[in-house]
């Protein structure tokens, strides 16, 4: 971050949970940040409120219908773009210093690459980008010396714990709350409803990531993300269930030391750290009260009740195009569950069946990945229909 200068910021996914919390950080430090551009899917009313408040130069939305609605609304001087191409244009604007990518799903890949190719500093809150195309994205970032700062609480924690210790790293420990169903039996899990799954015990998140947390798929995706962000083999990435979500992750060093990152479960902390890195500012989050903590608990994840975690490890270790299949199938299955078309336990079952049908490419191109992503989604949609009927 440049001292005493305003940071020109592009926020992709401004109406989602991460996007709205990012704007809370901007509101706390208006002298530090200028919103140059905003992008959202189709949440028109919320985006209109953001346009009035932050006066961006340019906005982008997902489809032509939403584009027309916004075009009629926006005042003179505010450009409106549509589709992934629009987001890529926002991510490449010449005057932009920082691009925070908080869209959900594989839609984040192309804007991330556009920001890298434009030499922008990136805050990445979209794990699917690295899950699906991590080899391509990280290779581009290294080639152009572009810094990608993780916004996920776990990866932000690792990023902070590793400073100056990279050569001493033995293992990464990703903590997981275990979700709302960690004490459930398989019989209980068969009766999980959408309303139950959307009540995360600790974090305020969007519906897709909340369901992923309940299945432990989110933690599996984070394992793949950590592999790419930190260049660590899967055998050196461990998942640790920690229900209180106070320790956000740990690194184990070769001398037997562990370095942990602790704090209240509030996403505004890692968001602000990414925006201001390497500087630290006073946060909106409440301080951690050690005297109020009764205990911290730890456990191994139950891989029988929550098979999604092993599916993610399997996809990551297979590599190539398999993580794209995992992610695409999961997005479809989770969407179907939220629409009450399939059961909670059907989510990992559908993902596994689609993975079994795929013969992975070892070094896929971006076009290969996008085509395989589309194939995986169609296969998952077919299985959803079978399950629903």
Output the 3-class SS for the chain.
Answer: CCCCCCEEEEEECCCCHHHHHHHHHHHHCCCCEEEEEEECCCCHHHHHHHHHHHCCCEEEECCHHHHHHHHHHCCCCCEEEEHHHHHHHHHCCCCCCEEEECCCCHHHHHHHHHHHHCCCEEEECCHHHHHHHHHHHHHHHHHCCCCEEECCHHHHHHHHHCCCCHHHEEEEEEEECCCCCCCCCHHHHCCCCHHHHCCCCCCCCCHHHHHHHHHCHHHHHHHHHHHHHHCCCHHHEEEEECCCCCEEEEEEECCCCEEEEECCCCCHHHHHHHHHCCCCCCCCCCCCCHHHCCCCCCECCCCCCCCHHHHHHHHHHHCCCHHHHHHHHHHHHHHHHHCCCCCCCHHHHHHHHHHHHCCCCCCCCHHHHHHHHHHHHHHHHHHHHHHHC
Q: Is residue 104 part of a domain?
A: yes
227 is in an annotated binding site: no
Q: Which residues pair with 6 in a beta bridge?
A: none
Of 88, 77, 129, give the one whose Cα is nearest residue 111: 88
Please indicate, yes or no, whether residues 249 and 359 belong to a single structural domain of this protein: yes
Task: Report pLDDT for 3.
Answer: 46
257 is in an annotated binding site: no
200 is in an annotated binding site: yes
Please indicate, yes or no, whether residues 224 and 329 belong to a single structural domain of this protein: yes
Domain boundary among 125, 150, 175: 150
6 is in an annotated binding site: no
Contact 355, 383 (CB under 8 A): no
343 is in an annotated binding site: no
Task: Report pLDDT for 204.
Answer: 65
138-142 long-range Cβ contacts below 8 angstroms, 24+ apart? 138/228, 138/229, 140/113, 140/116, 141/116
Please indicate, yes or no, whether residues 294 and 361 belong to a single structural domain of this protein: yes
127 is in an annotated binding site: yes
Angstrom distance (rounded) from CA 281 to CA 269 = 10
Task: Report pLDDT for 250.
Answer: 98
Q: Which residues pair with 372 in a beta bridge?
A: none
Cis check: omega of the bond before 139, within 30 degrees of 0: no
Please indicate, yes or no, whether residues 319 and 373 belong to a single structural domain of this protein: yes
71 is in an annotated binding site: no
219 is in an annotated binding site: yes
Please indicate, yes or no, whether residues 65 and 175 belong to a single structural domain of this protein: no
Please indicate, yes or no, whether residues 215 and 91 belong to a single structural domain of this protein: no
Domain boundary among 104, 123, 150: 150
Angle CA 336–113–36, to nearest 5: 90
Please indicate, yes or no, whether residues 238 and 195 belong to a single structural domain of this protein: yes
Structural tokens at position 15: 């109406």
pLDDT tens, N- to C-terminus, the chain (389 residues) = 444 589 999 999 999 999 999 999 999 999 999 999 999 998 899 999 999 999 999 999 988 888 998 988 988 889 999 999 999 999 999 999 999 999 988 899 999 999 999 999 999 999 999 999 999 999 999 999 999 999 999 999 999 999 999 999 999 999 999 989 999 999 999 999 999 999 877 766 778 889 999 999 999 999 999 999 999 999 999 999 999 999 999 999 999 999 999 999 999 999 999 999 999 999 999 999 999 998 999 999 999 999 999 999 999 999 999 999 999 999 999 999 999 999 999 999 999 999 999 999 999 999 999 999 999 999 999 999 998 87
Please indicate, yes or no, whether residues 191 and 325 belong to a single structural domain of this protein: yes
Structural tokens at position 221: 């995706």
Cα radius of gyration rounded to whole Å, the chain: 20
154 is in an annotated binding site: yes
Please indicate, yes or no, whether residues 24 and 102 belong to a single structural domain of this protein: yes
Angstrom distance (rounded) from CA 377 to CA 380 = 5
Angstrom distance (rounded) from CA 53 to CA 38 = 12
Please indicate, yes or no, whether residues 141 and 165 belong to a single structural domain of this protein: no
128 is in an annotated binding site: yes
CATH number at residue 40: 3.40.50.720
59-65 long-range Cβ contacts below 8 angstroms, 24+ apart? 60/12, 60/86, 60/87, 60/89, 60/90, 61/86
Residue located via tokens 């993780």: 150
202 is in an annotated binding site: no
252 is in an annotated binding site: no
How many domains, the chain?
A: 2
Q: Is residue 1 part of a domain?
A: no
Please indicate, yes or no, whether residues 342 and 275 belong to a single structural domain of this protein: yes
Angle CA 384–386–389, to nearest 5: 105
Task: Report pLDDT for 4.
Answer: 52
Residue located via tokens 């996809």: 315
Query: Model pTM?
Result: 0.94
Torsions phi, psi of 180, nearest 5?
A: -75, -10
4 is in an annotated binding site: no
The residue range of the domain holding 73 is: 7-150
Q: Is residue 2 part of a domain?
A: no
213 is in an annotated binding site: yes
Contact 321, 364 (CB under 8 A): yes
CATH number at residue 273: 1.10.1740.10
Quote the distance between the C-alpha of residue 148 and its chain's center: 13
Residue located via tokens 């293992």: 171
Angstrom distance (rounded) from CA 299 to CA 239 = 9
359 is in an annotated binding site: no
149 is in an annotated binding site: no
Domain boundary among 103, 129, 150: 150
Please indicate, yes or no, whether residues 145 and 159 belong to a single structural domain of this protein: no
Task: Report pLDDT for 76.
Answer: 85
Task: Report pLDDT for 64.
Answer: 86
Handedness of CA 381, 383, 384, 388 (dihedral sign): positive
Task: Report pLDDT for 203.
Answer: 65
16 is in an annotated binding site: yes
């Amino acid at each position: 971050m440049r001292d005493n200068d305003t940071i020109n910021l592009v926020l992709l996914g401004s109406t989602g949970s991460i996007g709205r919390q990012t704007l809370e950080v901007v509101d706390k430090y208006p002298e530090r940040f200028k919103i140059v551009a905003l992008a959202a899917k189709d949440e028109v009313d919320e985006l209109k409120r953001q346009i009035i408040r932050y006066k961006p130069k340019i906005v982008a939305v997902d489809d032509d219908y939403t584009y027309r609605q916004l075009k009629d609304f926006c005042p003179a001087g505010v450009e409106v773009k549509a589709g992934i191409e629009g987001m890529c244009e926002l991510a490449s604007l010449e005057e932009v210093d920082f691009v925070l990518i908080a869209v959900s799903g594989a839609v984040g890949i192309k804007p991330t690459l556009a920001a890298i190719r434009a030499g922008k500093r990136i805050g990445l809150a979209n794990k699917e980008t690295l899950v699906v195309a991590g080899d391509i994205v990280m290779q581009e970032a290294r080639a152009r010396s572009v810094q990608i700062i993780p916004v996920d609480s776990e990866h932000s924690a690792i990023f902070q714990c590793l400073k100056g210790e990279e050569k001493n790293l033995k293992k990464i420990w990703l903590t997981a709350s275990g979700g709302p169903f960690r004490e459930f039996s398989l019989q209980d899990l068969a009766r999980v409803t959408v309303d139950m799954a959307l009540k995360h015990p600790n974090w305020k998140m969007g519906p897709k990531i909340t369901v992923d947390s309940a299945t432990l798929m989110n933690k599996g995706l984070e394992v793949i993300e950590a592999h790419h962000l930190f260049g660590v083999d899967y055998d050196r990435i461990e998942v640790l269930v920690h229900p209180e979500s106070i320790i956000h992750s740990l690194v184990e060093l070769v001398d037997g030391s562990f370095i942990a990152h602790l704090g209240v479960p509030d996403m505004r902390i890692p968001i602000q750290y990414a925006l201001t890195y390497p500087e630290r500012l006073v946060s909106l989050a409440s301080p951690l009260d050690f005297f109020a903590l009764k205990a911290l608990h730890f456990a191994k994840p139950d891989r029988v009740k929550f098979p999604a975690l092993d599916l993610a490890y399997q996809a990551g270790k297979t590599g190539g195009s398999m993580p794209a299949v995992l992610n695409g199938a999961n997005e479809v299955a989770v969407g179907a569950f939220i629409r009450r078309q399939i059961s909670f336990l059907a989510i990992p079952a559908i993902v596994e069946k689609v993975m079994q049908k795929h013969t992975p490419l070892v070094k896929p191109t971006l076009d290969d990945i996008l085509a395989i992503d589309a194939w995986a989604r169609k296969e998952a949609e077919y299985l959803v229909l079978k399950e629903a009927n």
